[in-house]
Structure 1
Amino acid sequence: MIVKKALGLLTFISYFSIAPAQQVQRKVDFVNPFIGTGAAAGLPGCAFPGPTVPFGMVQLSPDTKEEIDARPCSGYDYKASTIVGFSHTHLNGTGIPDLVDVLMMPTTGEIKTNAGTEDKPGSGYRSRFSHEQETAKPGYYSVQLLDYDIKAELAATMHAGFHRYTFPEGKPWNLIIDIDHTSKKGTKVRSARIIAAQIRVIDNQTIEGYRVMTGWAKLRKVYFYARFSRPFTSTLMQEGTFTYPDKKLTTGNADIKAVVTFDKTGGREVLVKVGISAISADNAKENLDTEIKDWNFDRIVAQTEDLWEKELSKMDIEGTTEQKQIFYTCMYHAFTQPNNITDVNGDYTAGDMTIRNAGKKEIYSTFSLWDTYRAAHPLYTLTQIEKTAGFVNSMVLHHKSYGFLPIWELWGSETYCMIGNHAIPVIADAIMKDLPGIDVDEAYKAVKETSMTDHVQSPISIWEKYGYMPEDLQSQSVSITLETAYNDWCVAQLAKKLNHMDDYAYFMKRAGFYKNLYDAKTVFFRAKNSDGKWLEPFNALEYGHNGGHPFTEANAWQYLWYVPHQVKELVHLMGNEKKFGDRLDRFFTYTDTSTKVNHNASGFIGQYAHGNEPSHHVAYLYNFSDRQWKAQFYISKILNEMYSATPQCYIGNNDCGQMSAWYIFSAMGFYPVNPANSIYNIGSPVLKSAVIRLDNGRSFTVKTTNVSKANCYIQSMRLNNKPYNKSYITQADIVNGGTLEFVMGNKPSTKKLINYTEPN
């Protein structure tokens, strides 16, 4: 499976080696921001190594490409040999690029305003670098820019970036501000096209500006306010192909850049503080002045590290060094987003692009919901209860301004990426778990109205007319049918909790529409046209590629298992537990390379593809078969073979923490197959112990005996010191506090575990 080696591996391992035994290690010591910055099985994890605070607006990180595309979309590729500069916003593990705003790059000597190319050193302002002279930890990043002999160091707060550059003696010291830095020039996947941009010199230590873009987010505005620790003696502005010495203002929509050259009096360090806002330069200044009041760079580094230590301390695990590095880095990646888009004064951009004020509340965006509803958001209900309420309330506000709940929201802007409306299970899950701080009536209104509203990825009028999505009327029809049926089940359960029984009956009927696309003859969910006839020819191995095909980034094998709300009914459709188990066996062992796979599919075990989300719950479905021990076998295999403490950790895109959340849950021994029923299915723990420290002051502990790669099979379990024989635990079991104990062995146990009863 995954190849556990990387460029510069010796340095990589050396840097993250364990400190002497007498030192007390913090959780942050195990976080490795380079995990996920490389490619596994040819697919990058799309992580960035630069500093950010938990759920922060700013992610200040190096970019290794001038044109940021989907491979990797984060801007940083571990195998690259040059750095273009350091921009202030980045996405974590997505499959589409955007952000990478306000790039800065220090240089010496001759001024160059174009980045140049990686294969031609000196052709532009980019610089070569080496992993041997590169360091990253939560809240801090540094690298030696070899072509200029400049040490670059980065730190971040919620709304601001902090740069510290140590220049060499001799040549002039320059800093390039590249507002044009984006994927504008000919890439297949565009992150943004600039509509308007400006850079303005306020005085010889202050510059502000903005850029307005259209791309993945259809309209996005970014303002910056930068203050320098020493004056600059000259400026150079670029507008398109023209350059203007000592000009104080430049405006345009292409190649908008500025270069400043510094006074070299008094030491070799130049510090730059940069406030970021989506509202105005004045707000960017206020953000900066509030969060970075002086020039103490090391204080900001320590402050951010402490913020991360607080978040990571919500879990305490025992395992191997590698397991700790993977686990705490997964937590780090899971808590990197959703992102707070509210300025310190409460201003934010609503879904209709109006400016509103949230008071003291934080409004969140960067909702990769098709991915994160599966495990990341259930994880937040255990570790981020207050933040979860903020996420839900932000989604409800989006509904108020935009007309329906977010699908894939970026910086407050709806991108319409992926299918369905998976804010619905996130909101339903939070309310079903009685999390505080949510206006339940407003949330239910948003959920119901969204479930009755047509949009491009969920045409409800067609859904209600046909009882399925016909492929001749809606592409990706099978995937949308299955996922909409699940969302409708979530609406029904929420309606039942709130005693809206007519709504409950209505949505439960819709929740069963998936059966209308089940073909008992082929034992697959298949596409039909509006005439009710099966779409021919049918190839269960054929992949969808985001349009023009019945399946979304998957094939019929992978979507066969997407009935998380009625797994027992799926067992019944296939015949019985034995036939269900036989079908799972075929799924995990059937290999065929004759059909081209989707570029998102990777991490294969038979037809199982761990590198993409539709497969993430499937190994746990063995719990509903007559061979439950196989769930333990395959889950252990995935944990041990498809994650590693290297840049190639993730077998596919991290997808805003979903790939990480899968590891966090599964390493502890359980996972939410149905992300909205408050139930976690038992798998195969790999950690010696894990403690979840809950907001209510209690803790839930998992302990294992005899656990190892070979000892992946559960021999017995105890919950709160009593024998336990169920294939699941509940949210209540966890939040009430207690201890779940596993005794592991190297041979399967034939003891049948009891499955939960699915709510109607």
Structure 2
Amino acid sequence: MHKLIQLSILVPVGAVAAQDVDYAQFVNPFIGSEGAISGYAYGGGDVFVGGAVPFGMVKLGLDTYEEPINQSALNGGWTPQGYVTGISLMHESGTGGGPKYGFPAQMPLTEIDGDVNLLDNRTYWQKRVGEDIASVGYFRTELESGVTVELSASRHAGLHHYTYPSTSETHILVDFSHYLPHPTRSWDSQFYTGGEIEIQPNSSTYTGHTSVAGGWCIGAPVTVYVCGEFDTPPSETKVFKGKNTFPASRHFRSFNNATTPFPTFTGTTARSGPLNDRVGAIFSWSNVTEVNSRVGISFMSVDKACDYKNAELSTWSIEDTKQKARNEWNRDVFSKIRVDTSASANKTRLALLYSSLYFMHLIPSERVGENPLWESEEPYWDDFYTMWDLFRNQVSLWHLIQPSYYESMLRALVDIFRHEGWVPDGRSGNYNGLVQGGSNADNVLADAYVKGLRGNINWTEGYAAVKKNAEILPYFDENPVDPQGSLKEGRSALDDWIPLGYVSADRNSRAVSKTVEYSLNDFAVSQIAAGESPGERDLYLQRSAGWQLSWDPSATSRNFTGFVVPRFSNGTFDKTYNITNCGDCNWSDESYEGTAFEYSFVIPHDVARVIDLMGGSGHFESRLDYVFQPNTSGVDLGVNGLGITTINNVANEPDFGTPYLYNYLNKQWKSVERTRQLANDFYFNTSSGIPGNSDAGALNCWLVWQMLGLYPVVTTPVYLLESPWFSDINITVNYDKTLRIRAEGLDDGNGKQGYYVQGVSINGQVWDKNWFEHEDAGGIMTAGGEIVFTLGNEQKVWETGDLPPSPGHVELDVGAG
């Protein structure tokens, strides 16, 4: 029930200046908006669909409610067939867990009498008719009432354009108590904590604020100041307030029979008061069928919200606003990676490339000048969902193509540590949380550090931040999702990790995955320590081998021996543990979003030791082959699996790097074959075109790296060489340098054949390794240069040089427990 707008502007790369190419025409904003069940969001990518600019604070779109109930499906607001409950300015994209934001909101109505209760959106919610239409910076839908809604946005403001039937009434509800609810449980639902609304004397402008707490991070109340304006003065305005009946009236299933009180109209101003009364306003017009509304928001003040509205939306034109957003996306995102867009170019590949770039630039949110918590000269960013998702490949691409934004993000992370005491793993609504495993901001900072990023980052404090994660146990936050550890920040199992060297299964949840993640975290700390505190490097390098203490050399599964498994605090291994099944694979299980079979491969800093413990190269290769065989998975992924039946789960971040491990055997052709097969099988230019939750663009970014023919090894300066999808790729790196990637002989039968590498040269030098480092060949990733792949049909072992390094190589005694 949706349609993509595409324009027919096709030009060859280099024919005109990059900023003149409308790469935005290839973006499909609906990719990932549906799951395996056609027409429903359940099991899909949970992506935002609406108007936004890169990393914008405002993401203007619909809020909907859709059966079958799944909280994650509501996170982006839009669902294929859901009831429209409001149109709000703040959303996340591609996130799981309890919904966040969905405020402040408007709702166009064609009647406000009779059964309509402005405090109960079930009495006025609307289905949609026809097809929703979206393009970069623009969204359009038609409600059952006949109202057409068009939306676009700038960085801090949104523009609504409503067209009403000529025979209907014209009303707009402004609801400051609206938010995205959690439809199935209350502990991580959002809840309204108060607000204020005032209609200004000109009657066309309203101002105020709304405060909402909870959601994914179970955060403290966040207050957003609002300044809204209509282009046509209304004939009547009414401000209202009403009893806040949360949770009864806000839970759709459990309390459907609850009575919701009607509002009381109060003049031109309404304040919540001590009982957190709900507040809003209704605006009505006579003989008017088109209404435009500009709304600015700020975390600082109403005045600043008004300034944003006036400065960023200088006209009432939806077309002008859409074009400005489109220009910004083309200039700041899409033109960073340029390929042939001529009439002969493969349009599906163009859609996959530029749509993937789009989704990986929606969040986090750039909020420079919008930090209400402390005064600082440093930048401020929010909505990190989460480092657990982002660190594996997304931050490495931002490093290359978004150096200004990326340095700003890192400075913000260090500043959060400076003022709050912890660098976040996840953060939203100006509040840290949740921690899915380790302290993975360590990995993000280390990845930047080893690639030489210094700029204006205070690395003394950056090192202090990661060292605190490695040494100080965070306070216990009593999160009901995990009774055994803190989920707000830091590493909740340090009281095991430091004395034992591993995380024990009898004292902690997620013992297997935490042990693996803490190992990489400490390797990350050692990487920064090497430059900032050399005397401490070896301590953390040694601790990064802790995963080996959870390695049971006698554990057997599927005819393979030796795995990371749960280990108890007394040193014994759990001999009953099912290595191919992690139960719900969730917060209270032994491993998180992956089985022990999978996590046994997830040691990017010491692949050489993994190969050794699996019995050498031959056994390692056989096991690696096995995880890609169909019908081997021991976990029923259900509707979230989108047809995945292999042990390797391309939809989950721990497995992102696994298909590239053949490079460590000098069998790069197998890495190419496996990853190309995964991309062909699970990524499409359709609404269900990604294999699960987008995870803030992490799944999309995996595909971008795949299409470039490279893959980063996180926390190291290493990139693995793979196989490009385009014959000529020009990437802007380090602000204004060009990295050119060429694929000679590319004739791959639409990705089904002919993509095997026959040889590589870098800056004119024949390259005999299937990897390179950030500063190799005269600084290929900083100064620019050229990588040339020769491709063909032969499955060829072309690499004769050294294997990719294992810079965290440490050998511990591994024995039966």
**TM-score (norm. length: structure 1):** 0.91
Alignment of 1:559-574 (within 5 A): 559-574=599-614
Task: Find the partner of 1:244 among 249, 264, 276.
Answer: 264
1:96-116 deviations in whole A, cap 9, x for unaligned? 221111121112134433698
1:467-517 deviations in whole A, cap 9, x for unaligned? 10011111101111111110111111111123x222101101111111101
Is the counterpart of residue 591 in structure 1 residue 612 in structure 2? Answer: no
Cα distance in 2, alignment partners of residues 99 and 574 from structure 1: 46
Local SS of the residue matching 2:521: helix
Alignment of 1:358-757 (within 5 A): 358-359=376-377, 361-435=379-453, 436-455=455-474, 456=486, 458=491, 459-498=493-532, 500-522=533-555, 523-543=562-582, 544-589=584-629, 591-592=631-632, 595-597=635-637, 604=644, 606-625=646-665, 627-672=667-712, 674-704=713-743, 705-708=745-748, 709=751, 710-732=753-775, 733-754=780-801, 755-757=803-805
Is the counterpart of residue 313 in structure 1 residue 335 in structure 2? Answer: yes
Quote how far apart the aligned CAs of 1:66 are: 7.8
Contact 2:726-2:746 at 8 Å conserved across structures:
no
Contact 2:710-2:722 at 8 Å conserved across structures:
yes
Is the counterpart of residue 758 in structure 1 residue 806 in structure 2? Answer: yes
Aligned residue for 1:32?
Answer: 28
1:727-753 deviations in whole A, cap 9, x for unaligned? 113222222322222222333113345
Q: 1:76 to 1:753 in 2, by over 3 A?
A: farther
Quote how far apart the aligned CAs of 1:670 are: 1.1
Alignment of 1:278-317 (within 5 A): 278-311=299-332, 312-317=334-339
Aligned residue for 1:54?
Answer: 54
Task: Find the partner of 2:295 among 266, 270, 274.
Answer: 274
Task: Find the partner of 1:221 among 220, 223, 226.
Answer: 223
The one-letter code sitting in structure 2 at the alignment partner of 1:566 is: D
The one-letter code sitting in structure 1 at the alignment partner of 2:765 is: K
The one-letter code sitting in structure 2 at the alignment partner of 1:378 is: S
Local SS of the residue matching 1:64: strand
Cα distance in 2, alignment partners of residues 172 and 406 from structure 1: 48
Local SS of the residue matching 1:49: coil
Cα distance in 1, alignment partners of residues 588 and 736 from structure 2: 51
Bigger drift between 519-528 and 619-628 goes to 619-628
Bigger drift between 398-407 and 74-83 goes to 74-83
Cα distance in 2, alignment partners of residues 347 and 716 from structure 1: 50
Bigger drift between 205-214 and 156-165 goes to 205-214
Cα distance in 2, alignment partners of residues 516 and 601 from structure 1: 32
Q: 1:590 to 1:164 in 2, by over 3 A?
A: closer
The one-letter code sitting in structure 1 at the alignment partner of 2:87 is: F
The one-letter code sitting in structure 1 at the alignment partner of 2:567 is: K
Task: Find the partner of 1:336 among 349, 362, 376.
Answer: 362
1:41-85 deviations in whole A, cap 9, x for unaligned? 762111111011111111001122289953314344553154333
Q: 1:85 to 1:47 in 2, by over 3 A?
A: same
Local SS of the residue matching 1:734: coil
Cα distance in 2, alignment partners of residues 372 and 21 from structure 1: 33
Q: 1:229 to 1:650 in 2, by over 3 A?
A: same
Structure 2: gaps of 5 or more residues = 244-260, 475-485, 556-561, 809-817
Contact 1:365-1:410 at 8 Å conserved across structures:
yes
Cα distance in 2, alignment partners of residues 113 and 49 from structure 1: 28
Cα distance in 2, alignment partners of residues 728 and 650 from structure 1: 28
Quote how far apart the aligned CAs of 1:552 are: 0.5
Cα distance in 2, alignment partners of residues 308 and 547 from structure 1: 37
Cα distance in 2, alignment partners of residues 507 and 439 from structure 1: 21
Quote how far apart the aligned CAs of 1:207 are: 1.8
Contact 1:224-1:276 at 8 Å conserved across structures:
yes
Cα distance in 1, alignment partners of residues 279 and 791 from structure 2: 60
Aligned residue for 1:3?
Answer: none
Cα distance in 2, alignment partners of residues 557 and 138 from structure 1: 40
Q: 1:616 to 1:301 in 2, by over 3 A?
A: same
Quote how far apart the aligned CAs of 1:391 are: 0.9
Cα distance in 2, alignment partners of residues 460 and 593 from structure 1: 32
1:607-662 deviations in whole A, cap 9, x for unaligned? 01111111100000011136432211111111222111111111111111111111
Contact 2:364-2:384 at 8 Å conserved across structures:
yes
Cα distance in 2, alignment partners of residues 528 and 89 from structure 1: 43
Bigger drift between 244-253 and 148-157 goes to 244-253
Contact 1:578-1:625 at 8 Å conserved across structures:
no
CA RMSD of aligned residues (A): 2.6
The one-letter code sitting in structure 1 at the alignment partner of 2:529 is: A
Aligned residue for 2:252?
Answer: none
User: Alignment identity in percent?
Assistant: 24
Aligned residue for 2:478?
Answer: none
Cα distance in 2, alignment partners of residues 104 and 247 from structure 1: 19
Quote how far apart the aligned CAs of 1:21 are: 7.2
Cα distance in 1, alignment partners of residues 472 and 747 from structure 2: 49
Aligned residue for 1:107?
Answer: 109
1:250-285 deviations in whole A, cap 9, x for unaligned? 3446783534233336x6321111111223334323
Quote how far apart the aligned CAs of 1:693 are: 1.1
Q: 1:731 to 1:626 in 2, by over 3 A?
A: closer
Contact 1:182-1:191 at 8 Å conserved across structures:
no
Contact 1:602-1:609 at 8 Å conserved across structures:
no
Aligned residue for 2:90?
Answer: 89
1:361-413 deviations in whole A, cap 9, x for unaligned? 44444341100011110001101111111111111111122222101011320
Is the counterpart of residue 175 in structure 1 residue 208 in structure 2? Answer: no
1:512-546 deviations in whole A, cap 9, x for unaligned? 11110111122110111110111241111222532
Bigger drift between 245-254 and 572-581 goes to 245-254
The one-letter code sitting in structure 2 at the alignment partner of 1:299 is: D
The number of equivalent residue pairs is 732
Quote how far apart the aligned CAs of 1:580 are: 0.8
The one-letter code sitting in structure 1 at the alignment partner of 2:684 is: S
Local SS of the residue matching 1:57: coil
Q: 1:722 to 1:185 in 2, by over 3 A?
A: closer
**TM-score (norm. length: structure 2):** 0.84
Q: 1:369 to 1:712 in 2, by over 3 A?
A: same
Aligned residue for 1:128?
Answer: 127
Local SS of the residue matching 2:319: helix
